[in-house]
Amino acid sequence: MKTKIAYYLFCLAGILLTWPALAAIETKSADPYLGAIVIDADTGQILFEDHSNVKGYPASVLKTMDLMILLDKINMGAMRLDEKITILAEVSKIGGSQVYLKENEIFTVDELLYALMVQSANDAATALAIQAAGSKEGFVALMNQRAKELGMKSTEFHSIHGLPPAKDQLPDVTTARDLARLARALLKYPDCLRYTSCKEHGFRDNKFIMRNHNRLLASFPGCDGLKTGFFRNAGYSIVATAKRGNTRIIAVILGSKSKKSRDQKAAELLAKGFAEMSQKQAFVTKSAPPPVPVDQPAEKEKPRSNRVLWLVISLVALVIVAVACYWFFFYRPRNKEDLVQRH
């Protein structure tokens, strides 16, 4: 009896030890996307949403928050567009998309803002953050404070650029709905479109030509922003906005499997948003609730996950643990007499 109890306890322990690892497996990109939302920029009315509260990695899309904080500083007089920034050694060591800033180079805030939004330069983001807040950590604190003020309850920032997290660093996390809130707030700063609508811009006296990663600027009529983002585990994301007449639409695609799919879906949702707005009707799916402003809380959604894979891994783990326990308690010979008897 005691042996059986020990056996069952051992199996339970195996399940408990295995489950946290299984639970950590979650999809951060999907086909056609992890989450999406379309809103009217003026009213915040949701025209369409699909898994808009599922959490994913924003990647460089979070630079829209960088831009908002920096424009805040400029509007308050704490920074100036013509203010000169001397590049520090740590800035020159940032990887990913960059303009290859070198230690002791000098650029204006305006030049670095173009690099931030057109080239999506991580080194420019670092230089601007340190100038604005004194340190990267200080700027991240400002990002999270602003997110809280905007009601971005599912968002956590841990970096100033959106690169994959370093060792012992938590990833940046957000949702399509939260990004729509951020985009709507950012568009209240007219100067933001000067940077986000720029298809290409010269840097270092035009020796380095920066080209915007947002292909909708050229392919979708009226598109003038805002930002794209990508790294492998995050998938492809975009916060896109376009204006036609007096109507401005914001579309967010979070965690798409491919760049092509992301851009196609973003263009499709922008077009549908304009069509619905022209008819003065809400654009919703059959399963979606009636349209509400994006600033109002929505019912929490369960993230998409490969539950079949979880189940298979769990069953395999259980079988392995059960076989090991059976062998240990019932089959493994305990002494030479047992060995002789079994043969």
State the catalytic residues.
60, 63, 120
Contact 21, 332 (CB under 8 A): no
Q: What is the 3-state secondary structure (H, E, C) of the chain?
A: CHHHHHHHHHHHHHHHHHHHHHHCCCCCCECCCCEEEEEECCCCEEEEEECCCCCECCHHHHHHHHHHHHHHHHHHCCCCCCCEEECCCCHHHCCCCCCCCCCCCEEEHHHHHHHHHCCCCHHHHHHHHHHHHCCHHHHHHHHHHHHHHCCCCCCECCCCCCCCCCCCCCCCEECHHHHHHHHHHHCCCCCHHHHHCCCEEEECCCCEEEECCCCHHHHCCCEEEEEEEEECCCEEEEEEEEEECCEEEEEEEEEECCHHHHHHHHHHHHHHHHHHHHCCCCCCCCCCCCCCECCCCCCCCCCCCCHHHHHHHHHHHHHHHHHHHHHHHHHCCCCHHHHHHHC
Among 286, 295, 243, 297, residue whose Cα is nearest residue 50: 286
Peptide bond into 193 cis (omega under 30): no
Among 275, 319, 119, residue whose Cα is nearest residue 212: 119
Among 271, 49, 30, residue whose Cα is nearest residue 177: 49
